[in-house]
Amino acid sequence: MSVLPVKDPSQARAAAEQIPWPQKSPASCPISAVKTRLRNAGLRPTRQRMALGWLLFAKGDRHVSAEMLYEEALRAREPLSLATVYNTLRQFSEAGLLRQVSVSGPKTFFDTNVSEHHHFYNEDDETVVDIPGSEIQVSGLPVAPEGMMISSVEVIVRLRNADGAEVEARVATGAGHHA
């Protein structure tokens, strides 16, 4: 198996967040930072993980689908399958390096910003944009069923072109926000 001895996921996320990612160009992100971030998250820095980590994190905070990242890998001449991209995104998410943002049915984006925040989802062009966590306050949450606790709440505000269409907000409990 490719995962190193397991750390507590919250410890892995905290360790991973301590390594800053440059916000400029891919050339300014040393490959050693990718390797260190993977190791701190408990992941072995394989060639595929290094390549996808470089593509994901060297461009700053962003939202990508598996298909988008696969296309980037093809343009970068990285010999990866779409299945490898999906598996790596899942592993990065489980290790706390990415957040999954499920916007519509099976449509999922992966967010390189793992801090507490919410999202706008534009249904017209299928893009996701961050909303700072402090701009939305959720109140009146239901009591969790016996033996359970609320671990997170994520708000996705769905947008459409303003030609009379309503803007609808969907609140889903999911990864990324700790209540």
Residues 80-106 have pLDDT tens digits of 999 999 999 999 999 999 999 988 777
Domains along the sequence of the chain with CATH: 9-100 (1.10.10.10), 115-172 (no CATH)
Query: What is the C-alpha separation between 30 and 64, in angstroms, rounded?
Result: 21
Position 62 scores a pLDDT of 93
Query: How far is residue 113 from each of residues 33, 147, 160, measured CA to CA in Å?
Result: 16, 31, 24
Query: What is the C-alpha separation between 43 and 146, in angstroms, rounded?
Result: 35
Element (H, E) at 155: strand 154-159
pLDDT-flagged residues of the chain (< 70):
1-30, 164-179
